[in-house]
Structure 1
Amino acid sequence: MANKVQNAAADALAGLLFDGMTIMAGGFGLCGIPENLIAAIRDSGVKDLTVVSNNCGVDDFGLGVLLAGGQIRKMISSYVGENKLFAELYLSGKLELEFNPQGTLAERIRAGGAGIPAFFTKTGVGTLVAEGKETRVFDGEEYVMERGLTADLSIVKAWKGDAEGNLVYRRTARNFNPMMATAGKVTVAEVEELVDVGQIDPDHIHTPGIYVDRILKGPAYEKRIEQLTVRKRETHAAPAAAGEEV
């Protein structure tokens, strides 16, 4: 078996990138995103990309850096989020957008990884989502046909992995990553912790190594919060001293 472990993100992507390719990128908001691989894609200068991802990062981080560099031609996603540039590019006609209900996007990716070319769903029937798509009636209910999705390359981020590419995701980072790992012609994973083969309990593995072609330990992770909302502390009067009138 070829050695899957790579020393750096650029090494992990060597020979895989080309203009006009389709890339799936795991993550939900800014949680569980393959940020080191995204940075390496930015640095490569590859362009005219179609990117499949729930959202497109924020203006200065995650997939947002590829938008800022003009490297993305089309997004297949379900959420514009807090990325102002995403909205501006779409509304000005400079970015093509294939918008999906979030559950439909997840199932399209899962179907692609499972070798299912299409499926029917009630979600989106009678809306803009269904325009131009085949519909069919089952048991008196109308359904719209959605196509499975695959990619030239899937980039995913996990909490822990081993040298064979077995992956474990942690909490919310177990979002689009597992299904995207199955739907790429080539899958590259970055992990926070890289361990020897045999150190991960087989019952704890979320993505089997057979789906992963290359793996690297990311040097650092920012773990940003996309939007932090707090309320002002309530002010309380100091307690009255003994015998003092209140």
Structure 2
Amino acid sequence: MDKVVATALEAVADVGDGASLAVGGFGLSGVPNVLIDALHERGVGGLSVVSNNCGAMEFGLAVLLAAGRIARVTGSYIGGNKEFARQYLSGELELELIPQGTLAERLRAGGAGIPAFYTPAGVGTQVAEGGLPWRYDGDGGVALASPPKEVREFDGVEYVLEHGIRTDFGLVRAARGDRHGNLVFNKSARNFNPLAAMAGRVTIAEVEELVEPGDIDPDAVHLPGVFVQRVVALTPRQAADKRIEQRTVST
């Protein structure tokens, strides 16, 4: 039952080229930076990443992106990541853009063993009808476009069929975790982390504070340990390294 692994490098040792990853985080909040840096150090490439966005300000998944290690992204938000946009528009990167709520539910459904579900989000758009550019050819043309999806009517309302997402690995960051893999997330850092953990067949959690089993009140657990296979305890310096994407101050 003790799922603690000594180092991040050891925890990601079996993540190979071409692996698929569900990665928690939103912007710079709740991003498993230490695990991502370990993957970068190992030199794995050709990765398929499922995440809300693909890093920001040269942190998080942007580290792997800049190194050319990511082949495909399934996500909702490009944002201000200029390198992400450049690789996509130049045809270096395949990108499946999904409505944010649909992405969250696809991850949750995959983790819950639900193969597919219907949602009204995207009906009447290219999300359902197909034709969204997944990959450009480098000359402004579309090399690969999204296929049409099944649309079905329920009680007079049209819904589009979306498939659950399962990945080889899930990478997440938690505020607290015990040796059994039970996790607690801090405020907005909860974001996509529980969903990414559910979607991964092997989920690795980096935790800012490692505690013993029983130290976390069962009612306080955000993600039960059944979804987590490995736990990495961060050093105090790693735990305190939290970036601010947009700093604002009052006058």
Residue pair 2:109, 2:165 contacting (<8 A) in 1 also: yes
Deviation at 1:101, TM superposition (A): 0.5
Q: Deviations over 1:119-170 (max 9, x none)?
A: 1111111111112111111111111111100100001110000111110111
Q: Secondary structure at the match of 1:42?
A: helix
Q: Is 2:113 the counterpart of 1:98?
A: no
Q: Is 2:149 the counterpart of 1:151?
A: no
Quote the RMSD (CA, aligned, Å): 1.2
Residue pair 1:48, 1:71 contacting (<8 A) in 2 also: yes
| Distance in structure 1 (CA, Å) of the matches to 2:17 and 2:121 | 33
| Distance in structure 2 (CA, Å) of the matches to 1:160 and 1:230 | 29
Residue pair 1:113, 1:182 contacting (<8 A) in 2 also: yes
Residue pair 1:59, 1:68 contacting (<8 A) in 2 also: no
| Distance in structure 1 (CA, Å) of the matches to 2:86 and 2:51 | 18
| Distance in structure 1 (CA, Å) of the matches to 2:47 and 2:73 | 9
Corresponding letter in the other structure for 1:198? G
Q: Deviations over 1:173-207 (max 9, x none)?
A: 11111122111110000010001111111110111
Matches within 5 A, 1:132-211: 132-211=148-227
Equivalent residue number for residue 223 of structure 1: 242
Q: Secondary structure at the match of 2:170?
A: strand
| Distance in structure 2 (CA, Å) of the matches to 1:125 and 1:226 | 33
Deviation at 1:6, TM superposition (A): 1.4
Corresponding letter in the other structure for 2:195? M
Corresponding letter in the other structure for 1:156? V
| Distance in structure 2 (CA, Å) of the matches to 1:43 and 1:116 | 35
Equivalent residue number for residue 11 of structure 2: 12
Deviation at 1:228, TM superposition (A): 2.5
Listed as ranges, the gaps of 5+ residues in structure 2 are 131-147
Listed as ranges, the gaps of 5+ residues in structure 1 are 234-246
| Distance in structure 1 (CA, Å) of the matches to 2:249 and 2:67 | 32
Q: Deviations over 1:196-235 (max 9, x none)?
A: 111111110111111111101122142111122457x4xx
Match of 2:26 among 21, 25, 28: 28
Corresponding letter in the other structure for 1:48? G
| Distance in structure 2 (CA, Å) of the matches to 1:207 and 1:58 | 26
TM-score, length of structure 1 as denominator length: 0.91
Percent identity of the aligned residues? 57
| Distance in structure 1 (CA, Å) of the matches to 2:28 and 2:45 | 22
Q: Secondary structure at the match of 2:174?
A: strand
| Distance in structure 2 (CA, Å) of the matches to 1:203 and 1:79 | 33
| Distance in structure 1 (CA, Å) of the matches to 2:106 and 2:72 | 17
Deviation at 1:36, TM superposition (A): 0.2
Deviation at 1:72, TM superposition (A): 0.2
Corresponding letter in the other structure for 1:227? Q
Residue pair 1:59, 1:85 contacting (<8 A) in 2 also: no
| Distance in structure 2 (CA, Å) of the matches to 1:224 and 1:82 | 16
Larger radius of gyration: 1
